[in-house]
Amino acid sequence: MMPKPIVIETRHLRKVYAVNRQPTVALDDVSFEIPEGSFVSLVGPSGCGKSTLLQILAGLVSSTTGEVLVDGEPVTEPMPGKITIVFQDSTLLPWKTVTENILFPLEIQGVPAAERAARATEMLALVGLTDFRDRHPHELSGGMRQRVSIARGLAQHPRIMLMDEPFGALDEQTRLKMGHELLRIWEATGKTIFLITHSLTEALFLSDVVLVMSHRPGRIVGVINAGLPRPRTYDMVGSPEFGAARNEMWHLISADETGEGLAEL
């Protein structure tokens, strides 16, 4: 089989924030590659620079040195048709219905009306919310709102979906279901997914590869190959292989630091 092309590549990324002349090194020498169509997660202690990295990948924030290449091209600005982002709190417009929320970015991008409608219908079906298309966000559960965010992102036909703690605000059961949903959507669409999560279990359960980041300044201290067969089943979480990989991640994170930030992991 031909190796998959690399869709995202970071080279020696470093990010220094300066607030009142006080420098904070958020990222240091971060280099990795993500093959097309893969599911990659990023875990690390709170404040280690994960969201900063995601914003740099998305072209929302610039790195201090180093670069990000998407399809071999340096990222210098957001690319809504190529990369979409799903945040922890679904950033839906409260006065618009579910359908209108999905249509809105497409209107801004100038997608023709018939095409917009067709994409919204398709994505609503994909995330299982066709019956809720005329509701407003406050009439939905947290998990449903996140599914609308995912549908809104996918309707833009991106190649890459970046997700920053998308299920962080959900209870454990809903979170688990959303993980399964996400895998189903990923398998149906073949998108490349880059997911930030505090949950080591979630990262391993969903991903092909988990990147482990150190305490600030964030560096990649480990690349864990999840190595579990697909489709994933919840029974796998109890397997010795799963436990061993999870332990390895935990040791990589905790060996690195005093434990600051681990409480929130």
Ligand X SMILES: Nc1ncnc2c1ncn2[C@@H]1O[C@H](COP(=O)(O)OP(=O)(O)OP(=O)(O)O)[C@@H](O)[C@H]1O
Binding residues for Mg ion (CB under 5 A): 51
Count of residues interacting with ligand X (CB under 6 A): 13
The reply to whether 216 sits near ligand X by the rule CB under 6 A is yes
Nearest to 161 by CA among 11, 8, 10, 44: 8
Please state, in angstroms and rounded to a whole number, the distance separating the CA atoms of residues 242 and 230.
14
Residue number with CB closer to ligand X (7 or 213): 213
The reply to whether 207 sits near ligand X by the rule CB under 6 A is no
Other CB atoms within 10 A of residue 177 CB: 13
Q: How far is the CB of 164 from Mg ion (least distance, A)?
A: 6
Binding residues among 117-146 for ligand X as defined by CB under 6 A? none
Please state, in angstroms and rounded to a whole number, the distance separating the CA atoms of residues 101 and 96.
6
DSSP 8-state assignment for residue 5:
P
Residue number with CB closer to Mg ion (57 or 155): 57
Q: How far is the CB of 44 from ligand X (least distance, A)?
A: 6
Please state, in angstroms and rounded to a whole number, the distance separating the CA atoms of residues 96 and 136.
6
Token digits for 151?
């549908």
Which one of ligand X, Mg ion, none interacts with residue 26, CB within 5 to 8 A by kind? Answer: ligand X
Label residue 133 left, alpha or beta by phi (over 0 means left) and psi (-120 to 50 means alpha). Answer: alpha
Stretch that binds ligand X, among 40-48, 100-108, 145-153, 171-179 (CB under 6 A): 40-48
Q: How far is the CB of 217 from ligand X (least distance, A)?
A: 8
Stretch that binds ligand X, among 45-53, 71-79, 222-230, 241-249 (CB under 6 A): 45-53
CA neighbours closer than 13 Å in the CB half-sphere of residue 229: 3
Binding site for ligand X (CB under 6 A): 17, 19, 24, 26, 44, 46-52, 216
